[in-house]
Structure 1
Amino acid sequence: MARASGRTVRDLRRENRTAVLQRLYFDGPMSRVALGSAAGLSSGSVSNVVAELLAEGVVEEAGSLGADGGRPRTLLRVAAGHGRLIGVDVGETRVRVELFDLSMAELARAERPLSGHGTRSYDVGVVAGHILDGIAEVLRASGEDGGPGGLLGVGVGVPGIVEHTAGGALVHGQTIGWDAVPLERLLRDSGRLPARVPLFIDNGAKTLGQAEMWFGGGRGARNAVVVLFGSGVGASVVTDEAERGRAVEWGHLTVRVRGRRCRCGARGCLEAYAGAEALLARWREAGGEPTSGTCDEEAALTDLLRAAQPPDGRAPDPVAVRVLAETAEYLGAGLSDLINLFQPERVLVGGWAGLQLGARFLESVRAHAYAHALRHPAGRVGIALGRLGPDAVTVGAAILPLAAFFARGGHRAPADSPTPPPAWRTALGGRLAGDSARVP
């Protein structure tokens, strides 16, 4: 039966289940009384929904809360073991695959490097094979058998622009040579994905932003920019207007006309000066050299930092110091553009290179950003490191199927249902006003 609004009784029941699950997930354990107030539901609606979710094993009891002069109240929480989620990070140096329970506790992981013998391969078939091998490995390691705690979905974060079409996600990754790559179809057609499991593909900077907004430095903020600083640079903008968040190709903002050649083919992009690959290239061009003699970017960046700030009291290498200082200025100027354009409450810097450079580098970046930005938005924004570490992209990718599970009211996806990108940010809605977390 349909209501005047066009929503059916089934729609209303699903929405009530979604509201209960979201509040329990972010704010639980909670009693039924507290849950009704937080979810905006009557006591009768809460009782009915909770009874269903308990019977299905989606929700479980989590002890009790004493009440002065009255009956103790039973606490409820989302059952961590009710399902499994896989997050995949197709980075620019490796493919990382992680298996999580519903509490986002890691159960298993697998990694496949994208480089070897001094070269790096972004061959689509190789990358797809790494994804599929990693999924099979983590499922095998966890003993996943598709039972009640079975796989709810797979999320994949990739570099580049992701276009969602009727035929599946297409990836436009110009810097890695991908032109409208039908990654979703390639993974599905392999026959190696678990049957009937939803698959979500989105930009890696965006999945990083999702993770920080749900669990990290973005908690409590309505507007934030989350920056991914790795081999290249990218950003995710989260605003009230962009409900699902928006990946922006920030790394290809022009910072110098007729400047250095970027991996995308253009000249003068921010990424050509501030990405870790470009940073290391500029250091080598100026005469610097990784002491480890390795082609691994993470090890080489460690060498650059050690040269600029020797741990043994030696004099700093002036070339390394100069290159890092220039990079901080370029990144700060790039952040100022994001601050002026989007006027966020927070800017969070993540990605393996951003985290490795860490606090030693951030203060300089922050100073340049404030100096270049307009006074009003600069005076309202906090700039800090992300809090979730190098696994943030995989966590954010796993949020994609988790948000879809919530949107379905805790029901598993039917075998023939499409899997549209979930409105992951709407799950935060009722939580923002009451969350007092702040980033300095």
Structure 2
Amino acid sequence: MAARNGRTVHDLRRENRTAVLQRLYFDGPMSRHSLAPATGLSSGSISNVVAELLADGLVEEAGSVGSDGGRPRTLLRVVPGSGHMIGVDVGETRVRVELFDLSLAELARTERPLAHKGRQAYDVGVIVGHIRDGVAEVLAAAGITAGELLGVGIGVPGIVERSGEGGAVVHGQTIGWDAVPLEHMLRLSGQLPEHVPYFIDNGAKTLGQAEMWFGAGRGAHNAVVVLFGSGVGACVVTDEVEHGRAVEWGHLTVRVQGRRCRCGALGCLEAYAGAEALLARWQEAGGQPPYDTDEETALTAMLAAAYPEDGRAPDPVAAAVLAETAEYLGAGLSDLINLFQPERILVGGWAGLQLGSRFLESVRTHALAYALRYPAGRVGIELGRLGPDAVTVGAAILPLADFFAHGGRRAPAPDAPVPSPAWRTSLDGRLA
């Protein structure tokens, strides 16, 4: 039966389940009495939905609370162990894999280092192997079977295209990936049952998802979340794009005929403000980055040289390069301010968090100086709150969000019997 606006009764029931689940998830524990005004549903609808969710094992009772002298009201909450998700961060220095329960408590994690620098580190066969082995390791560590998962979310560098047959295809120009059918390659491994989905998206978008749901973006209607690592990227969240849209901010041209970027173009922001470029510019200016080490260690050494805490004189070369980088980043942020007029800009990623405490104020000053006065006067610029693991958490949110969107119902296994409609059962009984 279809409702007047085209939605079926099934659609309405799913939407009601979604509303109750999400409210309990973000604001619970709550009573049935509190759920009604919080969701806009009638008390009868709340009773029906809660009964279903209790029967499905998704919701449980969690104590009681007084009710102005009346009978105590039972509190309800989402059961943390009623679902499990895996988040994967295909990062610059490692592939990180984490297993979470429904409350996003970490149950197991593993990391696979990327041993070589540059595009060699991103050999797609190696990356697929790291993801496959990492998923197997965290499942074994927690005693969870692959079929129990709500899904595996993966944050990757580059543009992600949705393909009808093969799933997600990644265009990662800076890492040498040209239309890589990553989802198809993962499916070929046969590790996950067909009913367990992969969710593959840009790493900046997964970072944005995490910060908007649980971090410094909570409560904002529109925001830009910046990922500052070896390269730079951004996720734009607006009322029209609720879950965010990744934008290739790092490849905005900031200097005509400037430095060669990893993407091959000249003058990109990433060629000046990414950690890889920052360390290269320090060396070109006469600095001495540590030899044969990863970028995170080298950036730590650069910060220590520019801002020594042991009484030594600051390294003027490192300090000058960092100051110039702050201006480039500020100018880049001013473009985001002018284009999208966000309430907040959040700076995350391992390099952004490492540098942020030292030069966020300088970045903020430059951003507001380069931006138009009206949008600049309305934006807050701050660090993300979820730490360097935020991409992994955001990747795990992708299957969680899909689970909520389906009213907390899992996709059926392909061999599971599909019940016949009630009318068919009745007619078949007459014909028997």
Give the distance between the partners of 1:101 and 1:118, measured in 2 at CA. 34
Match of 1:153 in 2: 151
Match of 2:98 in 1: 98
Using structure 2 for the length normalisation, give the TM-score. Answer: 0.94
Give the distance between the partners of 1:408 and 1:162, measured in 2 at CA. 23
Q: Pick from 348, 351, 367: which aligns with 1:350?
A: 348
Give the distance between the partners of 1:358 and 1:119, measured in 2 at CA. 27
**Quick one: which amino acid aligns to residue 25 of structure 2?**
Y
Match of 1:431 in 2: none
CA contact (8 A) 1:118 1:295 kept: no
Match of 1:231 in 2: 230
CA offsets 1:210-234 (integer angstroms, 9 cap, x no match): 0000000000000000000000000
Give the distance between the partners of 2:405 and 2:281, measured in 1 at CA. 47
CA contact (8 A) 2:85 2:399 kept: yes
Alpha-carbon offset, residue 198 of structure 1: 1.2
Give the distance between the partners of 2:409 and 2:350, measured in 1 at CA. 35
Match of 1:400 in 2: 398
Give the distance between the partners of 1:3 and 1:274, measured in 2 at CA. 53
Pair 1:198 & 2:197 matched: yes
Match of 1:144 in 2: 144
Alpha-carbon offset, residue 177 of structure 1: 0.3
Alpha-carbon offset, residue 243 of structure 1: 2.7
CA contact (8 A) 1:19 1:39 kept: yes
Pairs within 5 Å for 1:24-423: 24-116=24-116, 120-145=120-145, 150-167=148-165, 168-291=167-290, 293-416=291-414
Alpha-carbon offset, residue 247 of structure 1: 0.3
Q: Aligned with 1:70: secondary structure?
A: coil
Alpha-carbon offset, residue 275 of structure 1: 0.1
Alpha-carbon offset, residue 4 of structure 1: 2.2
Using structure 1 for the length normalisation, give the TM-score. Answer: 0.92
CA contact (8 A) 2:146 2:192 kept: no
Match of 2:419 in 1: none
CA contact (8 A) 2:282 2:289 kept: no
Pair 1:23 & 2:23 matched: yes
CA contact (8 A) 1:162 1:169 kept: yes
User: What is the aligned-residue identity percentage?
Assistant: 80
Alpha-carbon offset, residue 193 of structure 1: 2.5
Cα RMSD of the aligned pairs, angstroms, is: 1.4
Q: Structure 1 pair 81/353, CA: closer, same or farther in 2 (3 Å)?
A: same
Moved more, 194-203 or 127-136: 194-203
Q: Structure 1 pair 121/48, CA: closer, same or farther in 2 (3 Å)?
A: same
Q: Aligned with 2:71: secondary structure?
A: strand
CA contact (8 A) 2:205 2:245 kept: yes
Give the distance between the partners of 2:118 and 2:398, measured in 1 at CA. 34
Give the distance between the partners of 1:108 and 1:289, measured in 2 at CA. 38
CA offsets 1:370-397 (integer angstroms, 9 cap, x no match): 1100000000000000000011001111
CA contact (8 A) 2:194 2:414 kept: no
Q: Aligned with 2:310: secondary structure?
A: coil
Alpha-carbon offset, residue 115 of structure 1: 2.0
Q: Larger radius of gyration, structure 1 or 2? A: 2
Alpha-carbon offset, residue 195 of structure 1: 4.5
Give the distance between the partners of 2:119 and 2:41, measured in 1 at CA. 57
Q: Aligned with 1:17: secondary structure?
A: helix
**Quick one: which amino acid aligns to residue 385 of structure 1?**
L
CA contact (8 A) 2:119 2:175 kept: no
**Quick one: which amino acid aligns to residue 225 of structure 2?**
V
**Quick one: which amino acid aligns to residue 217 of structure 1?**
A
Give the distance between the partners of 1:100 and 1:185, measured in 2 at CA. 24
Q: Structure 1 pair 27/264, CA: closer, same or farther in 2 (3 Å)?
A: same
Q: Structure 1 pair 2/114, CA: closer, same or farther in 2 (3 Å)?
A: same
Give the distance between the partners of 2:293 and 2:320, measured in 1 at CA. 22
Give the distance between the partners of 2:79 and 2:228, measured in 1 at CA. 35
Give the distance between the partners of 1:212 and 1:95, measured in 2 at CA. 20
Match of 1:422 in 2: none
CA contact (8 A) 2:85 2:400 kept: yes
CA offsets 1:66-115 (integer angstroms, 9 cap, x no match): 12210001111111010101000011211101100111111100101112
